[in-house]
Chains A and B, each alone.
Chain A
């Protein structure tokens, strides 16, 4: 039975791969046009009604736009963690630590409620542009924390690195919880800065009439946040894609495949591993900054270990090393449980809230059993591994 299912699934996978090949064969102008149309559709998704599709994807128990925002934010996390796990092959179980550092940086510098408030720097940050000023700061601080964590620990390999990073994530969470002087402890920090601006009276019908004049990033709707997160996703994906195809990206893949061999060939493994850590951490910090701005409140409860492990799950389930794969993974891990909160499927109502995590766990086992390389695995042409390919291309152009 299982053998038959596996065969059917392999066939499905090869169809998927064939579609990918055909897509790559389409002229570039067409690909760009279709890509743009798809991105536009994504931007419009919360406010349009697509018959048939809408009933399937719209969440019934939670606000659909908020769920979309969260998914987009977690896609940023997935893209960042993909660099660490998928490209450089470093198992980081404490990625939530970077997310938390980013979120807390925004909270500390961009909130009148923070213990830092009153110091010159923090007051400067609490202006209408406070959040925008906080974001680069958050990214810089997380990058620094990535380097600080990586410097001593990246000498440790494999599973040992996993437990060290896990410890880091847990330490960050406990510090957030207990360092009352810094983070207000359990009480948390409220009233965190967010971008300014009000809804303009444009696009009637698309934007609700009662929103006009209300703050764009206020509590009325998450639409603006979703758009902002989507922009971040696109920028991060572009950056990650460029990096992946650069010398740095090739060094990462070489380290992942065989660290000793890479080192013998002249790749400074430690340096590039540190780079991967720093870049991954920066994206985690960016996602954290988005989260802090959206939530307007920062308590330590959002940073538990299980979330950190789910981060790893989304990268591996989707297909480590493949951007489309990790996006699918992020959607699966964060959207599916929300969708499963309540099923109202063409009149059939099911209250599945209690069983959503159970279903999710089963889904993890089934998916990994059938597709050990992830839902959308990274494909390398078997006769020409990517490194050789890149080399040949370089020589040809020289």
Chain B
């Protein structure tokens, strides 16, 4: 127990936790969207994220910025980041759609118990994981450091660097954009309608299959964004990078109330915070115990998560 250490470094631990939490939140959105509409855990979402991370590195290598390349100028950095975002989003969204097409759609017509979707999702997850493992020979892949962490400002002894600011701000911007999309557009209204009552929505002329494809795509886009931020933060990826991150993101979605978009943000940030604090107090080897213990505790008192399920009940 290092409470003194935790107190001394409270703010820097918090900033680090929020940064990681922002990435969790973006991945958690994919879980929450699919759960809100289909009431099932999309277990393959962690692999959707994983393919995104590889897409970022691959596309950077393709345009000539591999590990040995020199440092690009500011304009080039922005261009590369945008390129990485586009590549990761497209790949992740594509993977998500593929998973939906192969593992979910053939089953949906048969209306099986929801556990079955869990198993096909696990199957899809294993296939993606192993394919990527075979393609990359199960090796760690490094990416060029585009943004060198540099202190921007500090408060209470905690330094905040530009990478952390980029990650937190872009995650929040993406979440805000998504919420506007769901709440204000016609397509978003369709999503909410299907989440509320699939049959009634179908009677009102909402194409259910299209809505389901849409949410998988949006989840993939968000996971793609998370993949880019992950690469910027960590600088490398591996074929099994998604697994533990996916589990934590799912835990974050549940923590905030699965099916609730703001819940995903809250849950993600909170999980990141608690995790980093736990690492500070108990040592980094206990880092993963604390968030799960917290999750169990919170679910005991609030069985539907902090904000409850409400994609369907969002303002009409």
Q: Is the Cβ of A174 less than 8 Å from the Cβ of B126?
A: no
Q: Verify if B103 is at the interface (C-beta below 8 Å from A).
A: yes
Instruction: Knowing A171-B293, A309-B122, A358-B134, say if A368 contacts B299 (CB, 8 Å).
Output: no
By a CB distance below 8 angstroms, the chain B residues around A368 are 107, 112, 116, 119-120, 123
By a CB distance below 8 angstroms, the chain B residues around A174 are 285-286, 288-289
Q: Is the Cβ of A178 less than 8 Å from the Cβ of B41?
A: no
Stretch from B149-157, B162-170, B194-202, B247-255 that touches the partner: B247-255
Stretch from A157-165, A264-272, A275-283 that touches the partner: A157-165
Q: Is the Cβ of B126 less than 8 Å from the Cβ of A166?
A: no
Stretch from A50-58, A210-218, A311-319 that touches the partner: A311-319
Q: Is the Cβ of A167 less than 8 Å from the Cβ of B251?
A: yes
Q: Chain A 292-308, CB within 8 Å of chain B: the 1/0 string?
A: 00000000000001100
By a CB distance below 8 angstroms, the chain A residues around B207 are none
Closest Cβ of chain A: how far from B23's Cβ, in Å?
A: 19
By a CB distance below 8 angstroms, the chain B residues around A170 are 247, 288-289, 292
**CA of A284 to CA of B116, assembled, Å:** 23
Question: Which residue of B106, B107, B303 contacts A155 across the interface (Cβ within 8 Å)?
Answer: B303
By a CB distance below 8 angstroms, the chain B residues around A153 are 296, 299-300
Question: Which residue of B118, B123, B251, B286 contacts A365 across the interface (Cβ within 8 Å)?
Answer: B123
Q: Is the Cβ of A357 less than 8 Å from the Cβ of B300?
A: no
Q: Is the Cβ of A159 less than 8 Å from the Cβ of B286?
A: no
Most chain-A Cβ atoms within 10 A of its Cβ — which of B107, B124, B254? B254
Closest Cβ of chain B: how far from A306's Cβ, in Å?
A: 7
By a CB distance below 8 angstroms, the chain A residues around B116 are 316, 368, 372-373
Q: Verify if A328 is at the interface (C-beta below 8 Å from B).
A: no
Q: Is the Cβ of A364 less than 8 Å from the Cβ of B286?
A: no
8 Å CB contacts to A: which residues of B117-145?
118-120, 122-127, 129-131, 134
Q: Verify if A152 is at the interface (C-beta below 8 Å from B).
A: yes
Q: How many residues of B contact A (CB 8 A)?
A: 45
Q: Verify if A385 is at the interface (C-beta below 8 Å from B).
A: no
By a CB distance below 8 angstroms, the chain A residues around B11 are none
Closest chain A residue, CB of each to CB of B248? A170
Main secondary structure of the interface of A (DSSP, over half): helix
Q: Is the Cβ of A163 less than 8 Å from the Cβ of B295?
A: yes
Q: Is the Cβ of B41 less than 8 Å from the Cβ of A156?
A: no
8 Å CB contacts to A: which residues of B12-47?
35, 39, 41, 43
**CA of A153 to CA of B289, assembled, Å:** 17
Most chain-A Cβ atoms within 10 A of its Cβ — which of B110, B113, B119? B119
Closest chain B residue, CB of each to CB of A170? B292
**CA of A87 to CA of B92, assembled, Å:** 37
Q: Chain B 295-314, CB within 8 Å of chain A: the 1/0 string?
A: 11001100111000000000
Q: Is the Cβ of B300 less than 8 Å from the Cβ of A155?
A: yes
8 Å CB contacts to B: which residues of A360-388?
360-365, 368-369, 372-373
Question: Which residue of B43, B118, B293 contacts A167 across the interface (Cβ within 8 Å)?
Answer: B293
| Interchain Cβ contacts under 8 Å between A and B, 15 examples | A156-B303, A160-B303, A170-B289, A178-B286, A312-B118, A357-B126, A357-B130, A358-B131, A361-B127, A364-B119, A364-B123, A365-B124, A369-B106, A372-B112, A373-B116
Q: What is the interface of chain A, defined by CB distance below 8 A to chain B?
A: 2, 85, 91, 152-153, 155-157, 159-160, 162-164, 166-168, 170-171, 174-175, 177-178, 305-306, 309, 312-313, 316-317, 320, 354-355, 357-358, 360-365, 368-369, 372-373
Using A170-B288, A361-B130, A362-B123 as known contacts, list a sample of 12 further A-B pairs with CB atoms less than 8 Å apart, ordered by residue number in A: A163-B250, A167-B251, A355-B134, A361-B124, A364-B120, A364-B126, A365-B123, A368-B107, A368-B120, A369-B120, A372-B110, A372-B112
